[in-house]
Amino acid sequence: MRRAQIAVVAAAILVGLAAGLGAYTFGYARGWSYVTDDPSACANCHVMHEQHDGWIKGSHRSVATCNDCHVPHDFFGRWYVKARNGFWHSYYFTTGTFHEPIRATPLSRRIAEANCRRCHEAVVQAMGTPSHAGSDEISCIRCHSSVGHMELGATSVAAGR
């Protein structure tokens, strides 16, 4: 075989191995579940069991899934955040480099804050300005960090600062 043919065969083998490993990992990690709204997908990895169990016992279980609070509601934002989070969650979980206890990132906190204000807009507006409505200085998730899933301090904003 010529060098060019060997290079093509080697590249095809590498691409095949990468695709096979990716498909296996996606299947093993139940990757398809992450594109759904099923909250049990969030508990696929053991570091989220406490948050999922807290959500089951929490006040929002009957009105919101994980995506309602933790993912933007516009089409592009939703899929961008799901892809971004899926990649980084799988990376940190696979490499074992995730922070224990797990903490919400600044982006995750901003998304949750925006979704609190979106769902509870009437309440926020009724509180009046400047103390709450339209103020970026007041944070729903700082004062109400245990509402979504009875957190035990694992992802609270105060703990993350």
What per-residue confidence (pLDDT) applies to 155? 44
Write out pLDDT tens, residues 1-33.
688 888 999 999 999 999 998 888 778 777 777
Q: Is residue 12 within a helix (H) or strand (E), and if so which, with residue range?
A: helix 3-28
pTM: 0.72
Q: What is the pLDDT of residues 28-61, one digit of tens each?
A: 777 777 777 788 777 776 677 888 888 888 888 8
- Angstrom CA distances, 32 to 90, 129, 135, 148, stand at 13, 43, 38, 24
